Amino acid sequence: MSKPPKRRSFPRSKVCRFCADSSLKMDYKEPNILRVFITERGKIIPRRISGNCAKHQRQLTTAIKRARNIALLPFTVPRR
């Protein structure tokens, strides 16, 4: 008895949201856009998970850090 060959599924490559849509503006004054890229605990989501390109991930990190400094985004979420 031979087993049937296993099917290999290849994960879809993620597309950078900012490269795909040029009208989407990344700015530290837009916390609603930046909130998508941070976890519930306040950590920045890494590039391999978010699917951003390296250029936009660097810009995103800078924008999130600037928004944190002027209190538009939290540094951390307090534990309960």
Alpha carbon separation from 18 to 7, 15, 24, 35, 49 (Å, rounded): 33, 9, 6, 15, 15
Alpha carbon separation from 79 to 40, 41, 42, 76 (Å, rounded): 11, 9, 12, 9
Residue 41 lies in a domain: yes
Q: What is the pLDDT of residue 44?
A: 96
Residue 10 lies in a domain: no
Domain of 59 in residue numbering reads as: 17-69
Residue 76 lies in a domain: no
- The answer for 26, left when phi > 0, alpha when psi is -120 to 50, beta otherwise, is beta
Residue 57 lies in a domain: yes
Residue 45 lies in a domain: yes
Q: Is the four-CA dihedral 52, 17, 56, 46 of positive or negative sign?
A: negative
Q: What is the pLDDT of residue 34?
A: 94
| CATH number, residue 52 | 4.10.640.10
Domain count, the chain: 1
Residue 12 lies in a domain: no
pTM, entire model: 0.81
Positions in the chain short of pLDDT 70: 1
Q: What is the pLDDT of residue 9?
A: 75
Residue 54 lies in a domain: yes
Q: What is the pLDDT of residue 67?
A: 97
Alpha carbon separation from 40 to 34, 35, 59, 79 (Å, rounded): 12, 9, 21, 11
Residue 38 lies in a domain: yes
Q: What is the pLDDT of residue 62?
A: 97
